[in-house]
Amino acid sequence: MRRLFAMFRAHWQAILTYRPEPVDGDLVLLRATSELPEILQPMHGAAQSLHTAPPTAGVT
């Protein structure tokens, strides 16, 4: 159990500190059609993902 928790903590830290580099090329964005499961919402909130944004948010 401790090893699983250590792995979870490492992944959580990676999510919180990840800052993507600009990409020079085409990019495909996928958007789910259903709500984010409640259990995943705190993680996405902490990572400041766009899970609550309207479909066109962040698209330029």
* 8 A C-beta contact, residue 50 and residue 58: yes
pLDDT value at position 10? 93
Distant-in-sequence contacts of 23-29, Cβ < 8 A, 24+ apart: 29/59
Tell me the per-residue pLDDT of 3-55, one tens digit each, with 9 for 90 and over: 998 999 999 899 888 888 998 999 887 877 788 899 988 888 888 887 777 77
- The DSSP string of the chain is -HHHHHHHHHHHHHHHH--PPP--S-------SSPPPGGGHHHHHHTT-STTS-TTTT--
Give pTM, 2 decimals.
0.46
Higher pLDDT, 52 or 60: 52
